[in-house]
Structure 1
C-alpha cells in the first residue's frame, strides 16, 4: 500500500506528439521502479498521464523530480526532431 501519490498530466497538440513522448518515457519504467516508488505512464488521445506512487514523501519528491526531468528531455528531443524534419 502506498502512502503518497502524484499525478502529472499534460496535453499535447496532437496524438502523434503524445504517443512519441509516451514511447520515449515507457522504457524508463522498469529501470526506475524500486521498493520505495513506482510509476505508470498512460495516454488517452493527446493527453499523457504519469502516476507516481511512493511509500514516503522523500521518495515521492525524488521520483517526481526524475519524471519531470525525463518528460522535459523527451519534449525537447521531440521538438528538436521537428526542427530537423522541416
Structure 2
C-alpha cells in the first residue's frame, strides 16, 4: 500500500491454462488507466495461469467502487476468453 492510496484489494483468479489467463489479462489491459479516477487506480498483471488485479484507493467507498468495476470487467474478459477457446 502507498501513503497516497492507503486502501488496497487484490483480485486474483487462476485459470485452467496460461493461454486463458493471457487472453483475460490482454482483454483487461486496455482498461488500466482508462477507468481510474481521482480516488482510485488499478493495475493488472499475469503470472502463469493467474491474473491479478490490484485496486488501490484513497477511501473505502472508492475501493468498493473500484473492486465492483474491475470484478465486472474480469467477468466480461472471461466471456471473451471462453469465446477465444471456441475458435
CA deviation after TM superposition for structure 1 residue 46, in Å: 0.6
CA deviation after TM superposition for structure 1 residue 80, in Å: 2.5
Match of 1:26 in 2: 29
Which of 6, 12, 17 does residue 14 from structure 1 map onto?
17
Matched residue pairs, number? Answer: 84
Equivalents in 2 of 1:82, 1:9: separation in Å? 21
Which of 50, 70, 85 does residue 47 from structure 1 map onto?
50
Q: Is the 8 A contact 2:25 2:44 kept in 1?
A: yes
Q: Secondary structure at the match of 1:62?
A: helix
CA deviation after TM superposition for structure 1 residue 81, in Å: 2.9
Residue 38 (structure 1) aligned with residue 41 (structure 2): yes
> Which structure is higher in helix share?
1
Equivalents in 2 of 1:76, 1:41: separation in Å? 17
Equivalents in 2 of 1:3, 1:30: separation in Å? 18
Deviating beyond 3 angstroms after TM superposition, the runs of 4 or more aligned structure 1 residues are none
TM-score, structure 1 as length reference: 0.91
Equivalents in 1 of 2:75, 2:17: separation in Å? 17
Structure 2 gap segments, 5+ residues each: none
